[in-house]
Structure 1
Amino acid sequence: MCIIFFKFDPRPASKNAYRLILAANRDELYNRPSKLVDFWGSGNEVLSGLDLEEGKEGGSWLGISKRGRLAALTNYMDARQNPDAQGRGFLVSNFLTDSLDSYSYLKKVSSQGHLYNGFNLLAAEFKAKEDTVCYYGNKGNPEPIFLKPGIYGLSNSLLETPWRKLQHGKRLFTDVINQNLPSDSLVQELLHILNNEELRQTPDPAMESQGEGYSQSMLLALAAVCVRTPGYGTRTNTVILIDRDGNVSFTERTMLNSDINQWKTSCFNFKLLE
């Protein structure tokens, strides 16, 4: 499970406004091996964490490149998983190192969507003359779509599916970003939302219907923005800001040693290449 809230505004009017504000949680088994966020790839242009699970090494869930390519992935909630399906994390890392534009990349992915378990994929390009954000989910429409400027929420169903936890978290996200806070305060407020375990929104018939096959205790845990169970839950929070001039702020808070009491916060700041 994962959750992503983001505001896309390619040409913000205010000098202090942002082309992108993104806040995301990665929910995963605590003991799944992963590499902490850092730069990698040709010329160290790509910034992301990386999966180290055997057979899926090098995949990712969220990342951005210095050339303005950004990708984010969530899984589609389904108790029936194909163990032989291809690793979804490569959909992110491949885009970050590819040269195809975001729509063409997702178009290519859509032709191969049947090879994967259910997923949602955001692919974006932030450039000097034009910003583009596209979306494709292999459990939804067969074609990717261009997203209009606005505020969006994505969890483990299709984009903007009105799960209660998504709607509630999106309202809180919207309230925070509308306060025009300084960047440091904005990041901290968004991290606070991402880490709030009390935002449980249940019962949720839509989520429970899609989650047929999950236990009631797991469905209850998954109904919060921040998921917490003994061996599975929210283990990474990420906040990405891209301002009008192409300055990127990337803040990631990651669990260490499978211990919910041990966390490391990493901060990166850079300017997008022209």
Structure 2
Amino acid sequence: SWPKVRRGAQLFVDALQAAAGAPEDELVERLFGMLTWRSDEPPRARSELRNTIQIEPLQVHADGPLYGTRLSTVILVRRDGTASFHERDIWTADEEGRAHAGERAHERVFEFQLDVAEERTRREAAA
């Protein structure tokens, strides 16, 4: 598997263990923190993108647009189906296509309810 997947899986486990019993907002922050991990060497070629989770804007093709991590998303789902979707801009582009660091004030949060009763019924019927 790719280095960023291996590293991300370990960071995910670490974040869950560290936030056990903590308020939900602390878990969200730990998960966003995990998504900021970068390798020691920034990617210089497309093939190196597999080595880092957060990618600062870079020019992959001389005449193409910048490539990088535009947003990060954390989705939490409780056993009762209560879910929250948190999204943050990591990099934004201005009218000329220049990259700027995103502002935390632009975080979007959506809360919703999933129908888990249907899934439970389906699993129980299959058992």
* Range class of TM-score, shorter chain: 0.5 to 0.7
Note if 1:271 corresponds to 2:99. no
- Deviation, structure 1 residue 178: 2.1
For residues 253 and 196 of structure 1, the distance between their equivalents in structure 2, rounded to whole angstroms, comes to 15
**Partner SS, residue 107 of structure 2:** strand
Larger fraction in strand: 1
Q: 1:170 — aligned with what?
A: 9
- Deviation, structure 1 residue 174: 0.8
Note if 1:262 corresponds to 2:105. no
**Partner SS, residue 234 of structure 1:** coil
Change in 2 beyond 3 A, CA 1:221/1:228: farther
- Contact kept, 8 Å, 2:92 with 2:102, in 1: the verdict is yes
- Deviation, structure 1 residue 218: 3.1
- Deviation, structure 1 residue 266: 0.3
Change in 2 beyond 3 A, CA 1:233/1:222: farther
Q: Which of structures 1 and 2 has the bigger CA Rg? A: 2
Of residues 18, 25, 36, the one that matches 1:195 is 36
- Contact kept, 8 Å, 1:173 with 1:193, in 2: the verdict is yes
Deviations 1:40-60 (A, max 9, x none): xxxxxxxxxxxxxxxxxxxxx
TM-score normalised per structure 2: 0.65
Change in 2 beyond 3 A, CA 1:260/1:223: farther
RMSD of aligned C-alpha atoms? Answer: 2.6
Change in 2 beyond 3 A, CA 1:241/1:201: farther
Once the two structures are aligned, what percentage of the paired residues are identical?
Answer: 30
* Aligned positions, number: 100
Matched ranges for 1:87-126 at <5 A: none
For residues 87 and 53 of structure 2, the distance between their equivalents in structure 1, rounded to whole angstroms, comes to 17
Kindly provide the amino acid, as one letter, of the partner of residue 219 in structure 1.
S
Q: 2:51 — aligned with what?
A: 223
For residues 187 and 170 of structure 1, the distance between their equivalents in structure 2, rounded to whole angstroms, comes to 16
TM-score normalised per structure 1: 0.33
Mind listing any 5+ residue stretches in structure 1 that lack a counterpart?
1-161, 203-214
**Partner SS, residue 70 of structure 2:** strand
- Deviation, structure 1 residue 235: 0.5
For residues 248 and 221 of structure 1, the distance between their equivalents in structure 2, rounded to whole angstroms, comes to 30
Mind listing any 5+ residue stretches in structure 2 that lack a counterpart?
59-65, 118-127
Change in 2 beyond 3 A, CA 1:272/1:241: same
Change in 2 beyond 3 A, CA 1:250/1:177: same
Kindly provide the amino acid, as one letter, of the partner of residue 193 in structure 1.
M
- Deviation, structure 1 residue 269: 1.4
- Deviation, structure 1 residue 175: 0.9
For residues 201 and 248 of structure 1, the distance between their equivalents in structure 2, rounded to whole angstroms, comes to 36
